[in-house]
Structures are given as C-alpha cells and as structure tokens.
Structure 1
Amino acid sequence: MNDGVSLERLTRRLEEVVGELRGLPVDVERVDDDAVVRARILQAARAARALRAMHPVGSKDTGRQEQRSRRDVLDVLEGGVSMRTIVHASVLDDPLKAARIRQLHAAGDLHRVVDEPIQQVLIFDRSVAFVRLTPVAEAPGALVIRQQSLIAALVDLFELTWAKAREVTEPAHRLTAREREVLALIAEGRSNGAVARALSITEAAVGKHVASLFAKLEIPAGADDNRRVLAVLAYLRGAVQ
C-alpha cells in the first residue's frame, strides 16, 4: 500500500470522525495531574489484554524509578498482556535506554523504531487511550479517551506507523539524512573541521552527529580514529541504512 495514500486516507478518516462527533457528547477527559494519569494507566494495564504504545523519547526516570518502571512492564507481560511499542530512534542513542528496550523486547514487549516525529500515545485494547496533552517530551497531563470512534482512528494511526517502522533488533539502525552526509564525508578522509565546512555547520554539530552514528552502528567506545574506520567500513559494506 502506498504510504502517501494510506496517510491521506487516515487523515480523511480523522476528519470524518471529528465531523461525526460535532454536537454529540464526547467521552474525552482532560487530566492535568501526572500522578493521577499514572494511576489511571496502571489501572487500565491491569485490566487490559493488549497495549499499543508510541513514545517520542525515552523516560527521564533513573535509578529506582527506572527499575520500578521496567518491573511494572515485566509484571504486565507476565500477566499475559500483549504489548507492542513504537519508539523514536533518538531513544537508542542512550546505551542504557537501548539496553532496557532490548530487554523488554526479548521479554515480549515488541518494539519497533521510527525516525519521524511521533506523539506519546497508549491504547489499551480498544477501550481506553491516553494521549499526551502537548507534543512536548515529559509534558504533564493527558487526554483520557473512551470515545470508540476516536480510539479506532488512533488504532489505525498506530498500525500504519507500526507497518512502516523497523525492528529494534536490526544491527544497523537507519541514520538520518544529515548523519549519512557526515559519514560519506568521513569516508572521503575528511576531519570533523572539514566536514563542518563542507556542510556549513559547526564543528560541535558534526561531533554530535558522529557520536550519534557511532551509537546507531553499535561501534564500541575506543580510540576515535579506530571508530571512524569501523564506521567507514560499515558504510562501504552497505550496512548503513
């Protein structure tokens, strides 16, 4: 199916849903308190049989919070809930978050990765959905949606995004267009300074792109020259997507 046609069809469907709901009572609740949102999510998770989730960035939880969050997901999986999660590729730039995602993936919370911006959404079965109030990482509050036509549209959006996403277990994650440009120039033997001049960006920005592509290509820490050689070899082998 052509992605453009699919997205256009989905957009029309969302417009139809909005039109159908005009003048009718809509079962959508705004909850501004994050503690209340978390409690509602846990309640829904305990009663659900399937969860579809989209996360634009990784959680900021660290230490005990991170362990508790991971334990909550594992407990839900052990309870027999089917889980599928779509994350933004930037999450994998953090080795700790990447390791957590792969652990959950192996445990049954299947993950896929996208490069395009996504909204934070949780859909439990086809009965309730949670949508972040604003498309900003870690913004407080959520919309709690029980309107069936809206949930159906969100499910369609999730399934379309899932079909386009790539497996989290792919050995070489897709680089952004800018990262591919940087790597191509590195393959020509250029230094970070030369790459910066060629692309009209700062040398600091080049350094960030280089660090990101090292992480995505899973090149371990070591001498920078050796890492650049390994990245170039991956590029020449065609392993970079």
Structure 2
Amino acid sequence: MGELRGLPVEVERLESSEEVRGRIAELARTSWELRAMQPVGAKDKGREEQRNRRDVLDALERGMAMRTVVHASVLDDPRKVARLRELHAAGDLHRVVDEPIQQLLVFDRAVAFLRITPVAGSPGALLIRQQSMISILIDLFEQTWARAREVTEAVPKLSPREREVLGLIAEGRSNSAVARALSISEAAVGKHVAGVFAKLDLPATDDVNRRVLAVLAYLRGAVR
C-alpha cells in the first residue's frame, strides 16, 4: 500500500510467478467477468498449459464471461492456435492484434493484474484494487478490443519454408517432387505439410482432402 499525491493507492507488488498464479487462481474461482490481454510469451510447460486450460474451461462452465486479446504472433504456434480455437469455441472470446500489448487481467472491474516488467516471461505482477487505475486499464482493454480482429478472421501465418512448400504443392507437385525442388528430405517436407495443416486447422478425416483445402486457402490468399 502506498500513496499517490497524498491519496491511498491500493497496489500490491507480487514478486514471484508462483504467488501471481495462486492469486489469479483464487479470483478465477469466484469472479464472474474477466478481461485479458496476452502478449506472446515463453512456451508453456506441458502440465502447466493443461492446468491453465482446465482452469479456464472450468470457469467458463461456471458461467464466467471472458474476453481475451492476443498478439498475432500466437498464430505462429500450431499448439497455441488449437488451444485458442478450443477456448474461443467454449466461450472465452478472443480477438487478435498486430501491435505490441502488455499482459493484463481485470476481474469483475474490481481487481487487476499487470506485469511488473513489460517483458514476456518475467516474474511478478502488480495487483491493483484502486478503482480509478482499474478504470484506466479497462478503457485500454476496450480500445484495444474495438480495433482487434475477430479470431475467426485472423489469417494464419506460415513460415517462409511452409509457404514455399505450399506454393509447390499448389503447382501439383508430390512431397518427393517438393523435396527435390527445395533440396530437403521428404521427411522434412512432410513435417512442413503437417505444420500447414495445423495452422489452417485441417484435421485428418476421411471426408476431405487436406492438400486440396490447403491449396485453395493459398490461392484465395487466406494464408500469409
């Protein structure tokens, strides 16, 4: 607790990531509304990612209203894209921005978490209860949300190599022909093709040809 120009400021400094996660988990179990901004960060550890995903799904099932703004760089990671789409479908509405954003959580217009150091993966956060500061953070969120793209409109971003592979497939070439053209192994081509399928959300089914759908997306300019 400190003072700002003689007025009490309800700001608590949380030093460790463990403490931050614990306080967020407490609020997630009792709050009814969450606004979040998530920049790209370090890759989640497997167990931690599963736990976070389950916590969000549990909160949604309980009736919490969630809106989340994410940075477009998340589209570079097929696992994160799959998770984003799952949560979006479950009710955690997502939008995407290209501009840099800082990590922010606001629960029930009453409590906010803001990362102490604006660097992805850095420990600690400020826990804010001071209402005028929370109002400013909510305004920031709403302005960012208003200019963000719907997640369903976000264009998947392929790596340069994935674009090369997909471009050659669009010419009608097989994986072995693509491998020869790029002087890489056929196994490497298969890996790049799998990455394209994941980013375009094309699961393996007996009903559709994923290569055809990927080529159609490429020709329509639906990937970048």
Q: Give the alignment's TM-score, normalised by structure 2.
A: 0.71
Preserved contact between residue 93 and residue 215 of structure 1 (Cα < 8 Å)? no
1:88 alignment partner AA:
H
Residue number in structure 1 paired with 2:9: 26
Q: Distance in 2 between matches of 1:160 and 1:154?
A: 10
The reply to whether residue 173 of structure 1 matches residue 150 of structure 2 is no
SS at match of 1:25: strand
Residues 239 and 64 (structure 1), Cα distance of their counterparts in 2 relative to 1, 3 Å cut: closer
Q: Mind listing any 5+ residue stretches in structure 2 that lack a counterpart?
A: 168-191, 203-210
Residue number in structure 2 paired with 1:11: none
Residue number in structure 2 paired with 1:43: 26
Q: Distance in 2 between matches of 1:28 and 1:41?
A: 15
State the number of aligned residues.
Answer: 188
Q: Mind listing any 5+ residue stretches in structure 1 that lack a counterpart?
A: 1-20, 187-209, 221-226
1:26-49 alpha-carbon deviations (Å, 9 max, x no partner): 111111021111111111112211
How far has the Cα of 1:93 moved from its partner? 0.7
How far has the Cα of 1:218 moved from its partner? 2.6
Residues 215 and 118 (structure 1), Cα distance of their counterparts in 2 relative to 1, 3 Å cut: farther
1:98 aligned residue (81, 85, 95): 81
1:112 alignment partner AA:
R
Identity %: 65
**Mapping for residues 38-187 of structure 1, pairs under 5 Å:** 38-58=21-41, 60-170=43-153, 173=155
1:42 alignment partner AA:
A
How far has the Cα of 1:68 moved from its partner? 1.1
How far has the Cα of 1:133 moved from its partner? 0.6
- RMSD, aligned CA: 3.3
Preserved contact between residue 81 and residue 199 of structure 2 (Cα < 8 Å)? no
How far has the Cα of 1:235 moved from its partner? 6.8
SS at match of 1:173: coil
Q: Distance in 1 between matches of 2:73 and 2:135?
A: 28
1:173 alignment partner AA:
V
